[in-house]
Amino acid sequence: MTPRFKPAFMLLILVGTCLWGVLPAAGYVPPGELILDRMTSTLGRTGKFSVVHTTAVADTACPPLHEATATETAWYDPPDRFRFESVFKKVKRIYVATPEAALTIVDGHVVSTAQSPLMRYREPLLCRDRKLLAARLVGMGIDTTVSSLGRLDGTVAYVVGARFPDASASQLWVAKETFLPFRLIINDSRERTQVEARYSQWHKEGAFWFPMHIEIYRNHRLIQTICSHTVTKKSVFESGLFDITALQRRYPPADAAEGRPPDSSTDEIQQAIDNFNKLYE
């Protein structure tokens, strides 16, 4: 190589090295199950815990706790029991989910007996066992045998359930640098809807991690941001907190006057959004 071409050649090598450092590698991507194993290990095992948070509608900023007009509480009982509760302008909303059933109660009436897609954000945070989580993801339509490498807003992540950039398949994103959940996408082809959760501002409470900022999107539109303020470990929960049968006995269905049970086959996503918006009008 002649001396006059040597500087240009070295510059080319330098540019190539820099680009290699910022672009996703096209090489080895771990299998989905291995990614989930590393993710659940990083999240850390935990017993019962509760989270106090507020919810900002659409793209409004998260209010400080002392300025919030309403606070909400979520109870996590790993690996599979969850309860959410909020009170705003004397209207109380309760959502309870277990492996057997789910229930949404608004203003003292049962409005849905279906799993709420808007509450699916809980799954990677609640189930911190790789085998159980894999089964839960499969039940949500995520093919855990498929994995790829993707990028969103500067974050490089492993994509479990799809070949990036395919967004038509349900998928879980795990940040490549931290191995913490980054993005969850659930597609419902029957209802032609997509619900997405994005996790950020991770906080370590003892031996486990929890995101203090969760954005919820519906069909690519930001509809709410869950702003967590405190995460508290619990040794026990109040008896009956997750007892769906007892709740059904206590609260009548919303259309009891017509003698019909709540309809779980309707557009539950839109119903949940409407119920949520009623609380913040």
Q: In this structure, are residues 180 and 199 in contact, taking their beta carbons and an 8 Å threshold?
A: yes
Question: Residue 6's pLDDT is what?
Answer: 53
Q: What is the CATH number of the domain that holds 89?
A: 2.50.20.10
Count of domains for the chain: 1
Q: pLDDT tens across 200-242, in order?
A: 999 999 899 999 999 999 999 999 999 999 999 999 999 999 9
In this structure, is residue 7 part of a structural domain? no
Q: Which domain holds residue 242?
A: 29-280
CA atoms within 13 Å, Cβ hemisphere of 146:
16
**What's the pLDDT at 28?**
82
pLDDT on residue 66: 75
Least confident of 42-56, 128-142, 244-258: 244-258
Residue 45 confidence class, pLDDT cut points 50, 70, 90: very high
Integer CA distances (angstroms), 155 to 27, 158, 160, 213, 225, in order: 17, 10, 15, 16, 19
Instruction: Give the pTM.
Output: 0.82
* 5 domain-assigned: no
pLDDT digits (tens, 9 = 90+) for 234-281: 999 999 999 999 999 999 998 764 454 554 444 444 554 555 554 444
Is pLDDT above 90 for 176?
yes
Higher pLDDT, 34 or 260: 34
CA distances in angstroms from 267 to 69, 140, 192, 242, listed in the order given: 29, 17, 10, 24
Q: Is the pLDDT of residue 139 over 90?
A: yes
Per-residue pLDDT tens for 83-134?
A: 999 988 788 999 999 998 999 999 999 999 999 999 999 999 999 999 999 9
Question: What is residue 60's predicted lDDT score, i.e. its pLDDT?
Answer: 74
